[in-house]
Structure 1
Amino acid sequence: MQNSWKKTFAIIWTGQFMSLLSSSAVNFAIIIWLSLETGSAEVLAYAAIAALLPQALIGPFAGVYIDRWDRKRTMIVADGFIAICTLIMSVLFYMGHFELLYIYLLLGMRSLGSAFHMPAMQASVPLLAPESELLRIAGINQIIQSVSNVAGPALGALAIGLMDIGQVLLLDIAGAIIAITSLFFVKIPNPSRSLQEKSSIKQVLRDISLGIKGVTSNKGLSYMFLFSILATFCIMPVAVLFPLLTLQHFGGGKFEMSVIEVVWGIGMLAGGGLLGIFKPTMNKVIIINCMHLLLGITLAISGLLPSGGFLIFVVLTTLGGIAASVYNACFTTIIQEKIDPTMLGRVFSMFFSIALLPSMIGLLSTGFIADNIGISRTFVILGSIISIIGAVSFCVPVLMQLGAKKKEIKPAEEMEVG
């Protein structure tokens, strides 16, 4: 592994970059289309729910099978499923069926594929690279995502200006084909399992229980999950309102929307680059808490800006991108370090589900919040709460110890017996 992991990741990253780039372009094109066609916070919220709810609902069950199935094959099938769904939707739009329902269905189908692809990819990382390189790899992953977030919106804005939404969707299909092709050239090992491989309902529920124990048996991890879930609950409504804040509060258009998406990606690129180059030795929990503080402050100040403060909004969004990138990399690395590889698939899936399901409540109320509280005030309130979460996290000793010491991992069998 010491000699081949870099080559393996180079091949995987090449395919994933093309897939992420095309997905970023298509996602932004859809956001522009929805924002300009409807100008409705509720429509954007429903689109976000369609893109997240299926993944949240099936996530725990998907994680069990990810840990059982061949992870390379799982990623290939998931990417292929997303491509087929996108192709069907593109044909519908080509035939003139421009309806919101089809957009929601497309986002829902993509969410189902992501429920398997994303955890399978993250669960494979510790099996492909040395543990000492996990944080650096997480940083490079953030760089790839960030470059996609920088170039994707520009490409999406150009595409939606030159083509209709049905043709734009074809970009995502091309990216999926490249990603699938790259996976055929690498070998991704699967963790050895001594547990009997059954797929009965009882066995699936038992495996989900093991995944939950993998987190709850470590109080520090439990608190980290709790604070991340609370922060996600506040972040999701704000994320949906970003385009409308640009359009309605700052009086922007397609260009300004693209600028905000690009500088967010630049911020994430900078954050991932710092981690990839310097590989900080500071307690990663401290870094996570600081990033919650930084992200919350940038959001709160953004809501206080006057309508002529767009340039300051650009700077704050860049800082928010840095905070999000560093947080995601550190959070992922801690899980990969503390959880048995045989349970990583279900743990990642479980977190996505537990974090996203409460956020649906926030998203459902997005329209009400935007109409009654105001978009700017929403940024101030939710940003302040995120900062408070970051500050309170410093006051939990067991959480602070999580990043200070490396704890011994319990095998799945021992956890079951205990």
Structure 2
Amino acid sequence: MRHWPSSLRALRHRNFRLYFIGHSISTLGTWIQQVALSWLIYRLTDSVALLGLTTFAALIPQLLVGPFAGAWIDRHDKRRLLIVVESALALQALVLAGLTASEQIGPTLIVAMAALLGVLNAVDTPLRQSLLSQFVDDRQDLANALALNAMLFTLSRFIGPPLAGLLLAVVSEAVCFTLNAVSYLALVIGLACIRLAPSLRASGSFRNILGEGLRYALDTPQIKQMMLSVMVVNLTASSYVVLLPVFARDIFGGDATTLGWLWGAAGLGSLSASVMLAGNRSAVALQRLILACAVASALAMLLFAASTQIGLSLGAMALLGFGITVCNVGTNILLQSDAPEALRGRVVSLYTSTRFGFDAIGGLLAGMLAAHLGAPAVQLGAGALLLLYCAWATRQLKLKHG
């Protein structure tokens, strides 16, 4: 087997390489669509509240559907199921492109399409995450596979938004949506080439399977604490996604290119965090790092809210992207490293439903509040709230360790 550097060791597994290549192309298309959609909404409506509502519609299914999706995932052939879901995501992007090109798109259809995307992602995200353990033949490489998967996502986040900004300067949003539809084919082809040994599937009634996963999470104090941290970080810090178009146009006087650079700065920070997490790190050290990065995220939000200089704001966005990624990806690594294989789909779905569900709630609240208070004030308040939580969590950690 080919020798790979320690930070890339999961790529020595053929199945993971096939997934990694396909998913890299697909994820780049996803980020192009996300930026194009946010710009389309603000261009058509000038409504920050609609930005928040659309983000909410796209993410809230993670909270509502996610836990049930996990129980369903653990009962089926995950590779075949993922091929079906990826094909459905491609169809959703193609329909969105058609509606936009024919100028039939409007607020109602935008929210409806976002909700459909959210339902599909509520199955897709935990399904992909739970499959990673089957793509590597050595369980010791699982944490590296998870970190590389996150690095792929954040690299696309770094490249995709600026690329989307450049594309939007010369082509329409519909073209960006079409490119995303085509990008899903790369992952479908990669999955079709993957060969997996039969895996253990959950048996019994759907109710019992769902209950077993919930009991495992609720009876494990460490999991409950990690889920609480994920909830607070994404409720507060991740709300910046909704507000970026407002900062790009109204605070900095820019256009879609400015929005792309702000997204890209956050992506650069996320990429740096993913690269760092790809190295070996003990569970105790990772727990402490997660808390430190939650504090860094709060400080970055306060700085971004107060800044009117684009250079300083780009630095704040990079720090914010770094902090959020360490909190989310680090927690995912800890959870999956300890989860039994038969419960993996349910554990991952609880994590993703918490992460993206509270991201949805935070985005909705941020959009609604920004319509009345302004984007800087909302960002400032969210940063202060996260900082208060970090102070409480630090005190709890000190009490736990005496």
TM-score (norm 1): 0.87
Match among 16, 21, 30 for residue 23 of structure 2: 16
Going from structure 1 to structure 2, the CA distance change for 1:324 and 1:400 (only over 3 Å counts) comes to farther
CA distance in 2, matches of 1:342, 1:104: 36
CA distance in 2, matches of 1:267, 1:335: 23
RMSD: 2.4
1:80 aligns with 2:80: no
- Contact (CA 8 Å) 1:238, 1:382: kept in 2 or not? no
Q: What is the match of residue 377 of structure 2?
A: 377
Q: How does 1:331-350 map to 2 (within 5 A)?
A: 331-350=331-350
CA distance in 1, matches of 2:102, 2:196: 40
Shift of residue 293, structure 1, vs aligned partner: 0.6
Q: What is the match of residue 325 of structure 2?
A: 325
Match among 167, 179, 203 for residue 159 of structure 1: 167
- Contact (CA 8 Å) 1:71, 1:190: kept in 2 or not? no
Going from structure 1 to structure 2, the CA distance change for 1:125 and 1:39 (only over 3 Å counts) comes to same
Higher mean Cα deviation, 27-36 or 234-243? 234-243
Going from structure 1 to structure 2, the CA distance change for 1:311 and 1:3 (only over 3 Å counts) comes to closer
Higher mean Cα deviation, 61-70 or 373-382? 373-382
Match among 95, 117, 132 for residue 125 of structure 1: 132
- Contact (CA 8 Å) 2:57, 2:360: kept in 1 or not? no
Higher mean Cα deviation, 238-247 or 71-80? 238-247
Shift of residue 247, structure 1, vs aligned partner: 2.0
SS in 1 for 2:74: helix
Q: How does 1:212-231 map to 2 (within 5 A)?
A: 212-231=214-233
SS in 2 for 1:283: helix
The AA in structure 2 aligned to 1:252 is G
- Contact (CA 8 Å) 1:15, 1:181: kept in 2 or not? yes
Q: What is the match of residue 38 of structure 2?
A: 31
Q: What is the match of residue 113 of structure 1?
A: 120
- Contact (CA 8 Å) 1:146, 1:265: kept in 2 or not? yes
TM-score (norm 2): 0.90
Going from structure 1 to structure 2, the CA distance change for 1:93 and 1:256 (only over 3 Å counts) comes to closer
- Contact (CA 8 Å) 2:122, 2:353: kept in 1 or not? no
Q: What is the match of residue 235 of structure 2?
A: 233
- Contact (CA 8 Å) 1:266, 1:318: kept in 2 or not? yes
Shift of residue 329, structure 1, vs aligned partner: 2.2
Q: How does 1:258-277 map to 2 (within 5 A)?
A: 258-276=260-278
Shift of residue 184, structure 1, vs aligned partner: 1.0
CA distance in 2, matches of 1:8, 1:338: 22
- Contact (CA 8 Å) 1:285, 1:399: kept in 2 or not? no
Indicate the percent of aligned positions where both proteins have the same amino acid.
20
- Contact (CA 8 Å) 1:123, 1:344: kept in 2 or not? yes
- Contact (CA 8 Å) 2:97, 2:174: kept in 1 or not? yes
Going from structure 1 to structure 2, the CA distance change for 1:95 and 1:300 (only over 3 Å counts) comes to same
Shift of residue 84, structure 1, vs aligned partner: 1.5
SS in 1 for 2:193: coil
The AA in structure 2 aligned to 1:334 is L
Q: Deviations over 1:268-323 (max 9, x none)?
A: 111111222x3233522111111111111100111122x2x221111111111122
Shift of residue 190, structure 1, vs aligned partner: 5.4
The AA in structure 2 aligned to 1:95 is S
Q: What is the match of residue 298 of structure 1?
A: 300
The AA in structure 2 aligned to 1:382 is A
- Contact (CA 8 Å) 1:233, 1:358: kept in 2 or not? yes
* Count of residue correspondences: 392
CA distance in 1, matches of 2:133, 2:233: 26
1:169 aligns with 2:177: yes
Q: How does 1:397-408 map to 2 (within 5 A)?
A: 397=397
Q: Unpaired runs of 5+ in structure 1? A: 198-202, 402-418
The AA in structure 2 aligned to 1:211 is G
- Contact (CA 8 Å) 1:127, 1:190: kept in 2 or not? no
Q: What is the match of residue 144 of structure 2?
A: 136
- Contact (CA 8 Å) 1:59, 1:115: kept in 2 or not? yes
Shift of residue 4, structure 1, vs aligned partner: 8.8
Q: What is the match of residue 280 of structure 2?
A: 279
Going from structure 1 to structure 2, the CA distance change for 1:135 and 1:287 (only over 3 Å counts) comes to farther
Q: Unpaired runs of 5+ in structure 2? A: 2-8
The AA in structure 2 aligned to 1:53 is I
- Contact (CA 8 Å) 1:127, 1:341: kept in 2 or not? no
Higher mean Cα deviation, 339-348 or 11-20? 339-348
Q: What is the match of residue 149 of structure 1?
A: 157
Q: What is the match of residue 192 of structure 1?
A: 200
SS in 2 for 1:394: helix
Moved over 6 A (4+): 1-4, 398-401
- Contact (CA 8 Å) 1:39, 1:244: kept in 2 or not? no
CA distance in 2, matches of 1:69, 1:344: 13
SS in 2 for 1:69: coil
1:391 aligns with 2:381: no
The AA in structure 2 aligned to 1:224 is M
CA distance in 1, matches of 2:356, 2:163: 28
Going from structure 1 to structure 2, the CA distance change for 1:399 and 1:115 (only over 3 Å counts) comes to farther
CA distance in 1, matches of 2:215, 2:310: 46
Shift of residue 76, structure 1, vs aligned partner: 0.6
The AA in structure 2 aligned to 1:32 is W
Going from structure 1 to structure 2, the CA distance change for 1:247 and 1:343 (only over 3 Å counts) comes to same
The AA in structure 2 aligned to 1:391 is A
The AA in structure 1 aligned to 2:288 is I
Higher mean Cα deviation, 35-44 or 123-132? 123-132
Q: Deviations over 1:232-271 (max 9, x none)?
A: 2223433311221232222222222111111111111111
CA distance in 2, matches of 1:4, 1:299: 35
Shift of residue 139, structure 1, vs aligned partner: 2.1
